[in-house]
Amino acid sequence: MKFTRRDFIKRFLLLGGSLLLSRLPIHAEEGRGEPWRPAFEKLEGEDKFAQRVEQAYAIFENCQLCPRQCGVNRQKGETGVCRAPVKPVIFGAHPHFGEEVSLVGMNGSGTIFFSNCNLRCIFCQNWPIAHEGRGKEVEDEDLAEMMLYLQRIGCHNINLVTPTHVMPNILNATRIALKKGLQIPLVYNKSGYERPDIVKLLDGIVDIYLPDMKYTDPDQAAKYSAGASDYPEMTKKAIIEMNRQVGEHLTDRRGIALRGVMIRHLVMPNRVAGTEQFVRWVAEALPKSTYVNIMPQYRVEYRAFEYPEIARGITVQEFLEAMDWADKYGLTNLDPKSVAVRDFYDQRRSGKIPHETD
Ligand code: SF4
């Protein structure tokens, strides 16, 4: 069968269309007749949320929020590897339409970009925000208002980008926002470089975990991410804890994400990201139906041009071998956009579609 560029676009439209055509209320049911509620509402109902905020804030005095474990007193203005102050610095808050389809839905993912970062990758695609800390310092109450604003304009979730170093502020702001009516899921969108013990503090608060798994090799992690040789070990343990808390990707009847773990893996040139080891690990340590997004969009950013092995984009072949490995190890829930891209190139690889435009 001939598979043309038009077919490819049609498939994308159908993917989005299944969401766009539906105008069901935002809180549809999970299928068991129970109306969906955000995890943090239950925690507040059990009178446990305030204590969790207090516990989290205490960590600022001897900051151990991430595996760097700097031990600085951020309450007194000291800063660690992430260079973050004790108050959140925010670069922007707006609906985002470039995330995974189940997060974007019809109205977008309500994304809040936090400045600074604990991982500090030399190929960072958000380097003005993550490395240079550009943004505006705000109070937790302001952060709560941003969450409520994003909900008011119809976003399907609150997508917290690079939240690790401001987790206590996020917990406090979420509780303030809950009291004013916040009712959409929290998406914890991060590099994956987390301490499992700290992730435990998020149990019953975060509905959707969206971690990266950037490397499987400690030497590569150290080389490209400021000496973080424990990245593979910490990230694997953290993801297992996230999976314990929220399980697999769950959507409502419109296909909009409500809960679960969604793992992102950016394919890098010259197999730097250790993609085969990554998919094998997922297949062995987690359910094979875990949502995995194998991403082809690596580009040379920040200081990546100083490292010849990553100073280029990936090839089609590198992306296809990554997807082939995912099949080989039996992963069954790959991101639909990646699958559509793979199918397109597969058809081209097998000669079923011409290389010229139609
Ligand atoms: S959050 Fe920042 S200060 Fe705290 S341990 Fe991590 S890098 Fe260090």
Is residue 338 over pLDDT 60? yes
Q: Encode pLDDT of 189-201 as tens digits.
A: 999 999 999 999 9
Residue 181, Cβ neighbours under 10 Å: how many? Answer: 9
* Alpha carbon distance 228, 69 (integer Å): 12
Q: From atom 1 of ligand 1, which residue's Cα is the shortest distance away?
A: 165
Centroid of ligand 1 to alpha carbon of 167 (angstroms): 11
Whose tokens are 């809040």? That residue is 112
C-beta 198 within 6 A of ligand 1: no
Mean pLDDT of 281-305: 97
Burial class for 284, CB neighbours closer than 10 Å (0-12, 13-18, 19+) = exposed
Give the pLDDT confidence score for residue 35 in this predicted structure. 78
Which pTM was predicted?
0.90
Give the pLDDT confidence score for residue 349 in this predicted structure. 78
Model confidence at 6, in pLDDT bands (50, 70, 90)? low
Model confidence at 18, in pLDDT bands (50, 70, 90)? very low
Q: Phi-psi bin for 204: left (phi > 0), alpha (psi -120 to 50), beta?
A: left
Pocket perturbation via mutation, ligand 1, pick of 59, 60, 62, 65 by most ligand atoms within 8 A of CB: 65
Is residue 346 over pLDDT 90? no
Give the pLDDT confidence score for residue 208 in this predicted structure. 98
Q: Tell me which DSSP letter residue 36 carries.
A: P
Give the pLDDT confidence score for residue 33 in this predicted structure. 60
Contact status, residue 183 vs residue 41, Cβ threshold 8 Å: yes
Contact status, residue 282 vs residue 328, Cβ threshold 8 Å: no
Residue 115, Cβ neighbours under 10 Å: how many? Answer: 27
Centroid of ligand 1 to alpha carbon of 71 (angstroms): 8
C-beta 81 within 6 A of ligand 1: yes
Q: From atom 4 of ligand 1, which residue's Cα is the shortest distance away?
A: 63
| DSSP output for 297-325 | -----TTGGGSGGGSSPPPHHHHHHHHHH
The crossing angle, in degrees rounded to 10, of helices 275-285 and 231-246 is 40
Phi, psi torsion values for 122, nearest 5 degrees: -80, -5
Q: Encode pLDDT of 102-131 as tens digits.
A: 999 999 999 999 999 999 999 999 999 999
Q: Encode pLDDT of 159-180 as tens digits.
A: 999 999 999 999 999 999 999 9
Model confidence at 36, in pLDDT bands (50, 70, 90)? confident
Model confidence at 217, in pLDDT bands (50, 70, 90)? very high
Phi, psi torsion values for 205, nearest 5 degrees: -120, -50
Percentage of the residues of the chain whose pLDDT score is greater than 70? 89
Is residue 45 over pLDDT 60? yes
Residue 23, Cβ neighbours under 10 Å: how many? Answer: 7
Encoded amino acid at 226, one letter: A
Whose tokens are 């960590």? That residue is 59
- Radius of gyration, alpha carbons of the chain: 20
Averaged pLDDT of the chain = 91
Is residue 25 over pLDDT 50? no
* Alpha carbon distance 271, 106 (integer Å): 35
For residue 239, give the nearest of 265, 221, 257, 271 by alpha carbon: 265
Q: From atom 5 of ligand 1, which residue's Cα is the shortest distance away?
A: 69
